[in-house]
Chains A and B, each alone.
Chain A
Amino acid sequence: MGTLGAIFLLSAAAIADEIFLIRLLSLRFWPYFVPLIISQAMLGFGAAGVATHLLRWRIARSPERVFAWLVLLAAPAFDLAFRASQAVRFDPFLLMWDTSAWPAFCGFFLLLSAPFALAGGAVVVPLSFGMGKAGPVYAANLAGSAAGALLALPAFSLVPTDSLLRIPVALGLVSGAFVLRAPEGRLSRGRIGPCVACLLLLFLPPPAPSMSPFKDMAVALRLPDAKVIAARSGPTGDYRAVFAPAMHFAPGLSMRYTGEIPPQAAVFADGELRGAAPKAGGPLPPGYLAYLPAALPYRLVQRPSVLQFGLRGTEGVLASAVNGASKVTAVESAEEYVRLIRDDLAPFSGGWPPGVAVEIRTEGHRTYLSRDKRRFDIIELADISSGTFSSLGVHAAGESFLLTREGIRAMLSHLSDRGMISSSGWLKAPPRESVKILRTFREAFTEAGLSPASERILLVRGWGSFALVARPSPFTPAEVGRARRWCETMGFGTVWPPPLSVEEGGAEERAFREAVRAAVTGATEGSGTELFDLRPATDDSPYFYRFLRLGSLPEFRRLLGNQWVPFVEWGVLFLLLSLAVSLALAALFLLLPPALSGKYSTQGAIPLAGYFSALGTAYMLVELTFLKAGILVLGDTIRAATAAIGGFTLFSGLGSALSEKSGSARTMRWIFPGIALLSAAGFLCLTGASSYLLASAGGWRASIFVASFAPAAFLMGMPFPAAVSGMSRGNARSIPLAWGINGFFSVSGASLASVAALWGGFRLSILGGALLYLLAGALYPRLFPR
């Protein structure tokens, strides 16, 4: 019981540590770099298996003692590893050019992987040395992981960001209480020491998370007289508002604006710019907001009611007000962010404009569209380029279900008779977002019988950004004329419908015009857009904010030499790098034992490697694909992640616990096809019912979401302990390796799930997971040769 208790708590601590590290590292680095570090750190789990295999003769002398010390050392490691990593100086960007940055990078992730290696060892040692039955041990591991994931959610709201790691330390400390007694039953003084040291760590000031000097907030904080004027954190992120007199935020401002930009505060989410709040802008919205390309729809409809998706500081609402909106409804899923803007910043911003009815809804975007039946004159999308206007193409995390065919269809049903959808973003070379969203609009309109789409779209450009509006009824010549005149006044230009007198312009302007024309009319693509995946986004393959085609990388390098760096989307590259590094490290670690022992035997090795690598990969493919579908159904990433990670580990834990009783060879024959069938069927049911679910209450949605994967997750908990249990009867020495293989391929499976979703869609990911389970089923009998 003590062993299981320690495993349960330590597993909870490890998963909490992983979740909190994501937050802490998101503050330091860019979002797309964090999964790379985290996934490599998680390789510590796999490395524990390899180390156990290599040291099995020594461990066998006293597995209980090894287990106890792994538990006792893991607890302080959660804190100490992070403290030490903060002293390692490197920046991801330098990795591209500075070879001396690589050792620092390796040191950084090795430090972070240390606690995971210890925690992994604390599971694999009992599994491998008969300290308990495989099913209950694995179940304690999974149930602990579920508890850690569920605990992390409220912790984000209750604990300051820099103190989050105290939670895994405390959990680890409690887990240490289960191993304080030596096997003979007396308290071991030697084991009390680490516990006391760990207790003392809780009283040390937490390490302040360092921040890359190139992050938006780090630069802002270094401006003269900069100060944080409001801060909030919670499950959705760490939000801070920074005021500095030298802040001048007006993305895409017309050159015809000659006035001043009033003092502003910039609002950051995890250190990245998310919006601005002009000082005292509420009572008197600043005039510059009428000089942005995004003001286009307001020139076409008077006193509109506006629906905005995404809160951009106070600036989005103020822009609507200054452009004549009668009422504004802003939908934002991040509750802490809403409270920071609406409540904490109100004394600075002056609140909302008095003449405009402003309503802020804290809700998922698609959920809102399904649950509220009101109609609007303008629906504004704030996030076509990225979550912010700041990151200019390096946004990589997350996906939007608003900018999909289905999302656009949902928005169309919320438009008034004169209503239109508008969006804006940065111009990029070659054009990307603009083309993708135009193609998605075109397809959604065609599906809705609104043809030709080309008569229902209007697109203008400024010197650095574009704005487009689309609506069900064709734009009249008078409206197009009004837009043209406004463009002339602002120094902007119409791109679609094409300008009356076609000025040649620079190559960039011509390329953009051509790309827009092709996207709107459905003509053949060109102008470099073929380098990116710009197919219309759907709910099965949503808008990922990154579009690089894998095959176009050599083309980038061939055409641009070293100049390719600024133009490529690094989020995609880091994702692929993560997959490649995890596979390379897996290969290295798994080849290490035979290399060191000098014994190269393939007998039994291939089924073993095939079975456990298939299990590790397949589990992550299925779990993460459900998680991504959950973002649509539940409305935001955090709820989806909590429900998916918590639900999968909980039900798999139950399955694992029962695997001892029901894991006979006869039963196992049905388990693998069962998983394949149930995961595929559950996923199809979930996505098929998504439009119904989106309109339902939150509790019901969460219940149906969990129910969609629960049967599959229950069965998914069985194959690993069943195989380990069988191996313990004749091939126990391979159990640590099995754990290692499973751990390594869980990491690569996580990267693979993102890659598959990006280029193949969710259904393909689920199909891949199902097929791998069938492969594992075929290999299962070969694990136990007669």
Chain B
Amino acid sequence: MRKAFAALLLLLVAVAPDSESTDPFLAGRLAMVKDQIQDRGISDSRVLSALRVVPRHLFVPPEYRSQAYADHPLPIGEGQTISQPYIIAFMTEILRLQPTDRVLEVGTGSGYQAAVAAKLAAEVYTIEIFGSLAANSARTLSSLGFRNVHARQGDGYYGWEEKAPFDAIIVTCAGGHLPPPLLRQLKNGGRMVMPVGGPFMTQNLVYVEKDRRGSLTQRNVLPVAFVRLLGH
């Protein structure tokens, strides 16, 4: 009984609407969305709303919590990072997630990207190879009441065959190639995005589309912003 009461209390705290009085990070989060996301051209109102709601500071290690809304990635352990807010916003927007979409995320990491996607899509399936990160992120997501996020530990390279196909796939860890199993598990008409670069050094985001007949096309999307800026 006492455990159930405690759990209920925890849930209430976790899902309580943000306010200045209960969430000291709210101002920082709203500033992050405006300065780092909106002002850099992210305009999808659903993505912006999701970023305003998801408490990023709960997904970073306590020692970095004060920097949770700063404009850079942060270490989360195991040599992995939580991406810079802009990268997460950019990847989410480009996937044009719909409320009915089933999304696969490869590389749960902190769980923050899964949480943002879960605000926009029907179901999010997320895989993390490092046991400690998988456990931490599952705990955080669960404590925040994300019931449409399904997490497991494993090698994300092979995707989640039993739950395929997916409307969208987000690969959050950089790699040297687009894994063939993931391309197979992408639904016709589906979208996939994947970074190329080191943990702190995302230089390219590769966007892949599978058309209705199953043909794949790709383009590098992040340098678009860079080159456009150079032209100013």
Contacts and interface: CB of A to CB of B under 8 A. Distances in A.
Contacts of A94: 75
Interface residues of A, number: 58
Contacts of B129: 223-224, 246
Contact of B227 (A213, A390, A511): A511
Contact of B79 (A214, A224, A250, A253): A214
Contacts of A389: 176
A588 to B, nearest CB: 30
A491 B131 CA distance: 36
Given A91-B75, A246-B157, A258-B184, A251 B177 contact: yes
Interface string B194-228: 00111111111010100000001011111111111
Contact of A527 (B64, B179, B227): B227
A427 to B, nearest CB: 7
A401 to B, nearest CB: 27
Contacts of B199: 214
B92 to A, nearest CB: 17
A210 interface: no
B79 A213 contact: yes
A427 B204 contact: yes
A364 interface: no
B180 interface: yes
Interface stretch (B22-30, B66-74, B117-125, B164-172): B66-74
Nearest to A389: B176
B183 interface: yes
A251 B176 contact: yes
A97 B206 contact: no
B178 A463 contact: yes
Contacts of B77: 213
Interface in A488-542: 491, 505-509, 511, 527-528
Contacts of B175: 248
Interface in A418-453: 426-430
Contact size class for B?
35 or more
Contact of B201 (A222, A252, A261, A394): A394
A248 B79 CA distance: 18
A210 to B, nearest CB: 13
A560 B229 contact: yes
A566 interface: yes
Interface string A529-573: 000000000000000000000000000000110110111000000
B102 to A, nearest CB: 22
A257 interface: yes
Nearest to B223: A429
B220 A463 contact: yes
A105 interface: no
B177 A253 contact: yes
10 contacts: A97-B67, A97-B70, A212-B79, A213-B75, A214-B198, A224-B155, A527-B227, A527-B230, A528-B227, A562-B71
Interface of B: 40, 64, 67, 70-72, 75, 77-79, 86, 129-131, 155, 157, 175-180, 183-184, 196-204, 206, 208, 216, 218-230, 232
Interface of A: 91, 93-94, 96-98, 212-215, 218-219, 222-224, 245-246, 248-253, 255, 257-261, 389-394, 426-430, 463-464, 491, 505-509, 511, 527-528, 559-560, 562-563, 565-567
Given A429-B203, A563-B225, A565-B200, 12 more contacts: A98-B64, A213-B78, A214-B200, A223-B129, A252-B177, A253-B176, A257-B180, A258-B180, A430-B230, A505-B219, A562-B71, A566-B201
